[in-house]
Amino acid sequence: MTRQDLTKLTAIFDHYPTDAGSLIGVLQDIQREFHYLPREAMTKTAETLGVPLSKVYSVATFYNAFSLTPRGDTIVRVCKGTACHIKGADLLLDQLESGLGIKPGETTEDMKYTLEVVNCVGACAMAPVMIVNNKYHGNVACNRALKLVKKD
Amino acid sequence: MVHITINGKVVKAAEGEMLLTVLKREGIDIPALCHHEAIEPTGNCRLCMVEISRAEWEGWKKHVTSCLYPVEDGLIVNTHTPEVIEIRKTIIDLQLANCPDSDVIQKMAEEYGIYKTSYETVPEGDNCIMCYACTRICEVLGKSAISAVMRGHKKVIAPPFGEEPPDCIGCLACAQICPTNVIPWTDTDSTRTIWKKTFDLITCTSCGKAVITKDFAEYLMAQRQIPKEYFETCDECKRMATARKMGEIVTKAQEAAL
Ligand code: FES
């Protein structure tokens, strides 16, 4: 980690009481800041909060909100919940996969895009739903998907 | 002191004691995999289910995991009703699907007349029943070197990052407590390997047999104030030395008496 990253990390730690109860909050902040949980950050979290490293790793791998590998600047999530599935989420995903050249869970080499599949996001009325960097797009037509992503 | 009725017999038990402990003391055979005296009960394996009721419940009853149920006065317990057996069979059947190669589960299943699971077996199962006995004992020891990683059907017990666990001291508590014996480890004359981490072993100064890993000995010296000499000889040689000393004392006493 660079000196700058370490400063960011310390700033995160300063926000929380140093005990096990802060674990998830700290990890969420790290995820937000770095777009993933760098290994060194997890080790530092364990040391700072006095939590065993195994616990930190356990929590980090349990929640889908945490990622252990670096992710792109733009995170594209395609909903594959029941409603979206019926309304053609598969086709949508196909378009994005071939357009970005990656499979769900992967990140483009230039670290620009990460593609993810999620389960129901609670917006079934506008299925199929695609979320680009936390912005929800409903009734997405296949041929529009890639454009929406690149525009963002 | 409380009084409870187990299969029609009134039994005394200490207040707050877990039901399974009482049942075991009474010599009743209840299958239980995740229970161990050294760790807090968690009710993960679900095998120790029994039926409980109370006089004032007017025939109403429920099924509970006995390892997690503190006894209370007036409890009526039935351990082998047809329903309980049916529940137990289902659980064993599921465990068998989960661990088709585990001899422990196979034996348990046979006792309940199950020779083949009626569910689809888990492909490439590792015989782990996810009872967390290993992680719990590691925590009790103050190490927490391993934990559950991932979730759902991908969940496994593993060290952080799947690498040598930095906190492991090679004590083997996890491997020994594991009810289905799935944590592998190997010893050579001078080293021990577990969770991909290799430890140096202290060997007995008189017979040369392995006594304990250096890391574990250091841990015990620091945490439990056990003197260094304690780890220099193995249990057997210690016993021999004590016997020899006793012999000397007796001979001396006899000589003095003459
Ligand atoms: S022994 Fe009670 S649930 Fe496993």
Average pLDDT of the residues in B97-113? 94
How is residue B217 written in tokens?
Answer: 């000995």
Provide the whole-model pTM: 0.84
- Are residues A79 and A129 in contact, defined by beta-carbon separation less than 8 angstroms? yes
- Tokens 């968690």 locate to B42
Query: Testing the interface with A: which of B135, B141, B144 to mutate, by most A Cβ within 10 A?
Result: B144
The answer to whether residue B153 scores a pLDDT higher than 90 is no
Number of separate domains in chain A: 2
**pLDDT score at A150:** 87
Atom of ligand 1 nearest to the CA of B34: 4
- CA–centroid distance, B213 to ligand 1, in Å, is 31
Nearest to A54 among B150, B151, B160 (CB): B160
A82 plus A146 within the same structural domain: yes
The answer to whether residue B216 scores a pLDDT higher than 90 is yes
Largest interatomic CA distance in chain B? 78
Shortest distance between the Cα of A59 and any Cα of chain B, in A, equals 8
- Residue B21 and residue A84: Cα distance in Å, rounded? 52
What count of other Cβ atoms lies within 10 Å of the Cβ of residue B183?
18
Nearest to A57 among B139, B143, B160 (CB): B160
Is residue A11 assigned to a domain? yes
Is residue A136 assigned to a domain? yes
A104 plus A80 within the same structural domain: yes
Instruction: Identify the CATH number of the domain in which residue A79 sits.
Output: 3.40.30.10
- Residue, of B177 and B153, whose pLDDT is higher: B177
pLDDT band at B157 (very low <50, low <70, confident <90, very high): very high
Chain segment B34-92, per-residue pLDDT in tens? 999 999 999 999 999 999 999 999 999 999 999 999 999 999 999 999 999 999 999 99
Counting residues of chain A whose pLDDT is more than 90, the rounded percentage is 83
Q: Which of B19, B23, B28, B45 to mutate to test ligand 1, by most ligand atoms within 8 A of the CB atom?
A: B45
What count of other Cβ atoms lies within 10 Å of the Cβ of residue B70?
14
Write out the residue range of the structural domain in which residue A40 sits: 3-62
E-strand ranges in chain A read 74-79, 113-118, 130-132, 135-137
- CA–centroid distance, B69 to ligand 1, in Å, is 10
* Ligand 1 neighbours by CB, cut-off 6 Å: B 32-35, 43-48, 65, 67
Is residue A20 assigned to a domain? yes
How is residue B258 written in tokens?
Answer: 């003459």
Is residue A67 assigned to a domain? no
Atom of ligand 1 nearest to the CA of B45: 4
pLDDT, averaged across chain A: 93
Please list, in sequence order, all residues whose beta carbon lies within 8 angstroms of the beta carbon of residue A29, skipping any fewer than 6 positions away.
Answer: A12, A15
- CA–centroid distance, A23 to ligand 1, in Å, is 29
A93-118 as b/e, with b when 16 or more CB fall inside 10 Å?
A: bebbeeebebebebbeeeeebbbbeb
A55 plus A97 within the same structural domain: no
**pLDDT score at A143:** 87
Chain segment A105-123, per-residue pLDDT in tens? 899 999 999 999 998 999 9
Average pLDDT of the residues in B188-215? 94
Contact yes or no for B160 and A62 at CB 8 A: no
How is residue B5 written in tokens?
Answer: 């009725």
**pLDDT score at A152:** 64
Is residue A145 assigned to a domain? yes
- CA–centroid distance, B142 to ligand 1, in Å, is 23
ipTM of the complex model: 0.85
- Residue B147 and residue B98: Cα distance in Å, rounded? 20
A28 plus A82 within the same structural domain: no
Q: Which domains can be identified in chain B, with CATH numbers? A: 2-80 (3.10.20.740), 133-239 (no CATH)
Contact yes or no for B167 and A61 at CB 8 A: no
The answer to whether residue A151 scores a pLDDT higher than 90 is no
pLDDT band at A58 (very low <50, low <70, confident <90, very high): very high
- Are residues B184 and B134 in contact, defined by beta-carbon separation less than 8 angstroms? no
Contact yes or no for A62 and B150 at CB 8 A: yes
The answer to whether residue B18 scores a pLDDT higher than 90 is yes
A104 plus A143 within the same structural domain: yes
User: Taking an 8 Å Cβ-Cβ cutoff, which residues of chain B contact chain A?
Assistant: 135, 139, 143-151, 159-161, 165-167
Largest interatomic CA distance in chain A? 50
Element (H, E) at A49: helix A39-49
Amino acid identity of residue B62, one-letter, is: K
The answer to whether residue B258 scores a pLDDT higher than 90 is no
Instruction: Measure Cα distances from B64 to A152, B67, B78, B79 in Å.
Output: 54, 9, 11, 11
Chain segment B235-257, per-residue pLDDT in tens? 999 999 999 999 999 999 998 88
Atom of ligand 1 nearest to the CA of B43: 3
pLDDT band at B122 (very low <50, low <70, confident <90, very high): confident
pLDDT, averaged across chain B: 94
**pLDDT score at B175:** 97
How much is the CA Rg of chain A, to the nearest whole Å?
17
- CA–centroid distance, B52 to ligand 1, in Å, is 16
Closest by alpha carbon to A29, among A47, A44, A9, A48?
A9
Instruction: Identify the CATH number of the domain in which residue A7 sits.
Output: 1.10.10
Query: Testing the interface with B: which of A54, A55, A57, A58 to mutate, by most B Cβ within 10 A?
Result: A54
How much is the CA Rg of chain B, to the nearest whole Å?
24
